[in-house]
Amino acid sequence: MATITAGSHKPIVELESATVRFCGDSGDGMQLAGTQLTNTSALAGNDIATFPDFPAEIRAPRGTKAGVSGFQIHFASKDIFTPGDRVEALVAMNPAALITNLSDLVPGGILVVNTDAFDEKGMKQAGYESNPLEDGSLSAYQLFQIDMTRLTRLAVEGCGLGQKESDRCRNFYAMGLVFWLYDRSLEPTLRYIDAKFGKKSPAVAEANRRALHAGYNYGETTEAFAAQYRVHKAELPPGTYRNLTGNEATAYGLMTAAKRSGCELFLGSYPITPASDILHELSRHKNFGVRTFQAEDEIAAMTSVVGAAFGGAMAITTSSGPGIALKQEAMGLAVMTELPLLIINVQRGGPSTGLPTKTEQADLLQALYGRNGECPMPVIAARSPADCFDVMQEAWRIAVRFMTPVMVLTDGYIANGSEPWRIPDFKAMPPIVVTHPDASTNGHEFHPYARNERLARPWALPGTPGLMHRIGGLEKQDVTGNVNYEPENHQHMVNTRARKVALVANDIPLQEVSGPQRGKLLVVSWGGTFGACATAVRDVQDAGGSVAHCHLRYLNPFPRNLGELIGNYEKVLVPELNRGQLRMLLRAEFLVDAVGLNKIKGKPFIVEEIVEEIQAMLE
C-alpha cells in the first residue's frame, strides 16, 4: 500500500485490490449500485468478480433482516477468481443490513451507514437493543455516519419528484460516495442514467444525476474521509473486454453454438430462479433466428425441446434443481430417442424449493442418476461466469457428435456473478459439424438406429423423403429402431447407450493439474467453486505448501486420465457445496480415499476455509 498525494486535495492510497459490498433493503437498489460499480471498475481495467446476494422475496417487509439484499464486488490489479472472502468497505443502508452483513467486514474496514434509517423502529426490526452507532460496538471499524436520506432529498430538490421518488435516488448517492472513495469515473453511470431514464423520465434522470454527484462531492469536500483509494489496471491478456454475468455468457454461448453448427436455436423454458435471465436474454435476440417458448410448465419445456430436436433445431431447456427434477422423465425420452439437446441446470439450494436465490452444487447426482432406468447422459459444468460461454458450445459439440442430450451445470453464484470476458473473434471459431442423412438410401430401408464409430445414430429430419421413421420411449431394436422387448436386445441397448456416453471420454481433453504433478495433496473441484479452490491452492503454494489443483469440467464421463492422475497424490481433498457428491463418485470410480470439505449454507466457499483445510491435511 503506497500513499501518494495527487492533484486532488486528499491523499490517494494505492491498493492491489478492494472488496466492497452494498447492502440495504431489497427495494433500495443495491443490485443496481453493485452493477454500476462493477461496470465502472471493469472499464477502469480492473479484474473483477462479483457476488450478488438477494432474498427470494421480491419485497420482504421493509427494514427486516429477511429483506436485506447485497451486492459484493472485488476489483483488483491482479488476476482474481473470487468476489473476496471479507469486505474492506461496507455500505449499509439500514440497521437490518448492518446487522446481517457486519461480520464480513474486516476489522479496520470502512463502514458507511445511512443514519436516517437508524430510528427506533428500524433498529427494533433489525433486533438491535441499543443504537450500534452510539454504543461503541462499531469501534473496530472506520465508521462514517451520513444522513443519506436527508442529503439525497436536498440534492434532488426542485426536480419535481415526490418524497418517495426522491428517496429512491439514495442508491445513486451511495454510489457517488463509493465512486469517490475508490477514484472511479462517474461517466459510465451517467451514461446508464441517460439511457435508462433520459427519454422516459427526464426528471428522474436529473434527480439520479444530482444524487450521484452529491454523493461524490460529499466525499470530496467534507472532512469525513481522509483519503481516497485507487486500484490500478490489472494485467489481463491483451484483447477487448467486457463485463459478463454467467447467465449472459450462457445465452451468448448458446447463440454462438447455434451459429457455429448452422442450427436454429429453440429454447423451451419455464421461469425459475436463478435461470430465468437466460430465457430473458435469448428472447431479446429473435433477429438471430432464436425461438423462445415460455412453456406452461417444466415438463412442457423439456418435451417441447424433444420435439424441436426431432425437427432439427438446436434445442435447449434451462432450469434449476426443482425444474430439473420435473424434467427427468422427458430427459429419459431424449436419452431413449438419442436426440441431441441441452439441459442447463443453474443450480440453487435444495431440496424442494429450498433456497431459490442461494447457490449450491447439490444436483450433481441428480444430473447423473436422476432418471428412471439406466439412463446415462454426458454432464459438464462451468467454472466461472465467462466460462459458461465456452462450456455451452462444448456441450453442443458433444451433443451433436454423439447424438445425445447433454446436461450442463452452472449455479446461482456464477449465473448472477460477473467477470471480465475477453471478447472472442467469431470468425476464428471452427464450425460445429452437424450432418443429416439425405433422401438417398440407395434403395435400402432406412435404419434410424444404425450407428457410426462413435455409436451415434443418424439425425434424420422430418421433411426428408424416404426416411420416414418413428421414435419413442419404448425400448428399441438396435439398427431398425422398431419397438422390441427381447431380453438380449434390452441388455444390448442399455450397454450400447452407456458405451456411447463413455466414448465421449475419447473426444475431450486430458485432465490437467496446476501445481506439482505428483505429491502430497490434490484438491479436486468442479463447477462454481473453481475460483475459491484455485485461489486457496495458489495461496498455499505461494506460502510454500505442496498442493496441486485439478478442476473438472467433464463430470460424465470423467477425462480418461483422471484415475491415474489422482493416484499420483497421497491425499485427495474434494471441496464441494454439497454433502460430498463428487467425492462419492471419485471413491466409487477410482477407489480413492478422498476427503470432503462440505459447505451447505447457500453461500460460496470463502478462500480461507479451503486454505485451512489444505493446511490441516498437509500437516
Partner 1 sequence: MPTDLKLPVLSANDFASDQDVRWCPGCGDYSILAQMKKVLPTLGIPREKTVFISGIGCSSRFPYYMNTYGIHSIHGRAPAVATGLKSSRPDLSVWVITGDGDGLSIGGNHLMHCIRRNLDINIVLFNNRIYGLTKGQYSPTSPVGKVTKSTPMGAIDNPLAPLCIAIGCESTFVARSIDTHIKHLGTVLKRAAEHRGTSFVEVYQNCNVFNDGAFDYATDRDTKAETTLELEHGKPLIFGKNRDKGIRLNGTHPEIVELGKGISEDDLLFHDEKAQEPTLAYLLSRMRYPEFPEPIGVFREVDRPKYDEVLNAQIVEAKKAKGEGDLQKLYNAGDTWTVG
What residues between 41 and 100 interact with partner 1 by CB under 8 A?
42-45
Q: Does 479 bind partner 1 (CB under 8 A)?
A: no
Q: Is the Cβ of residue 93 or residue 326 nearer to partner 1 in the bound state?
A: 326
Q: Does 321 bind partner 1 (CB under 8 A)?
A: no
**Helix (H) / strand (E) containing 532:** helix 530-542
Q: Does 462 bind partner 1 (CB under 8 A)?
A: yes
> What CA dihedral angle connects 61, 65, 67 and 68, to 10 degrees?
150
* Out of 23, 275, 471, 513, the residue judged to bind partner 1 by CB under 8 A: 471
* Out of 149, 250, 273, 304, the residue judged to bind partner 1 by CB under 8 A: 304
Q: Which residues are bridge partners to 483 per DSSP?
A: 476
Q: Is the Cβ of residue 328 or residue 357 nearer to partner 1 in the bound state?
A: 328
Count the residues of the shown chain that bind partner 1, applying the rule CB under 8 A: 73
CB atoms within 10 A of CB 297: 12
Q: Does 189 bind partner 1 (CB under 8 A)?
A: no
- Min dist. Cβ of residue 313 to partner 1 (A): 4
CA-to-CA distance for 69 and 502, rounded, in angstroms?
A: 44
Give the burial string for 369-382 (b: 16+ CB within 10 Å, else e).
ebbeeebbbbbbbb
Residue window 578-597: x/- pattern of binding to partner 1, with contact defined by CB under 8 A? --------------------
- E strand intervals along 9-122: 11-15, 17-25, 47-53, 68-76, 87-92, 105-114
Residue window 408-447: x/- pattern of binding to partner 1, with contact defined by CB under 8 A? ---------------xxxxx--------------------
Q: Which 3 state secondary structure label does DSSP give 1? A: coil
C-beta separation of 30 from 51 below 8 A:
no
Query: Using the 8-state DSSP alphabet, how is residue 297 labeled?
Result: S
Q: Does 485 bind partner 1 (CB under 8 A)?
A: no
* Out of 118, 144, 182, 241, the residue judged to bind partner 1 by CB under 8 A: 241
Of the candidates 613, 564, 577, 573, the residue with the CA atom closest to the CA atom of residue 593: 573
* Out of 238, 430, 431, 443, the residue judged to bind partner 1 by CB under 8 A: 238
Of the candidates 289, 402, 269, the residue with the CA atom closest to the CA atom of residue 343: 269
CB atoms within 10 A of CB 189: 24
Q: Is the Cβ of residue 10 or residue 285 nearer to partner 1 in the bound state?
A: 285
- Min dist. Cβ of residue 598 to partner 1 (A): 35
Q: Is the Cβ of residue 151 or residue 244 nearer to partner 1 in the bound state?
A: 244
Q: Is the Cβ of residue 420 or residue 515 nearer to partner 1 in the bound state?
A: 420
Q: Which 3 state secondary structure label does DSSP give 189? A: helix
First to last CA, the chain: 32
Q: Does 212 bind partner 1 (CB under 8 A)?
A: no
Q: Does 313 bind partner 1 (CB under 8 A)?
A: yes
Q: Which 3 state secondary structure label does DSSP give 280? A: helix
* Out of 482, 484, 514, 598, the residue judged to bind partner 1 by CB under 8 A: 482
Q: Does 188 bind partner 1 (CB under 8 A)?
A: yes
Q: Does 390 bind partner 1 (CB under 8 A)?
A: no
Q: Which residues, including other chains, have CB under 8 Å from residue 280's CB and lie 6 or more apart?
A: none
Question: Which stretch, 288-296, 397-405, 408-416, 608-616, contacts partner 1 (CB under 8 A)?
Answer: 288-296
What letter represents residue 96's amino acid? A
C-beta separation of 269 from 279 below 8 A:
yes
CA-to-CA distance for 263 and 609, rounded, in angstroms?
A: 44
- Min dist. Cβ of residue 136 to partner 1 (A): 43
Q: Is the Cβ of residue 6 or residue 195 nearer to partner 1 in the bound state?
A: 195
Q: Is the Cβ of residue 148 or residue 309 nearer to partner 1 in the bound state?
A: 309
Q: Does 194 bind partner 1 (CB under 8 A)?
A: no
Quote the cell numbers at residue 501: 456416453
Q: Does 186 bind partner 1 (CB under 8 A)?
A: no
C-beta separation of 104 from 98 below 8 A:
no
Scan residues 258-287 and list those touching partner 1 (CB under 8 A). Answer: 259, 264, 266, 268, 285-287
Scan residues 324-383 and list those touching partner 1 (CB under 8 A). Answer: 329-330, 332-333, 337
Q: Does 391 bind partner 1 (CB under 8 A)?
A: no
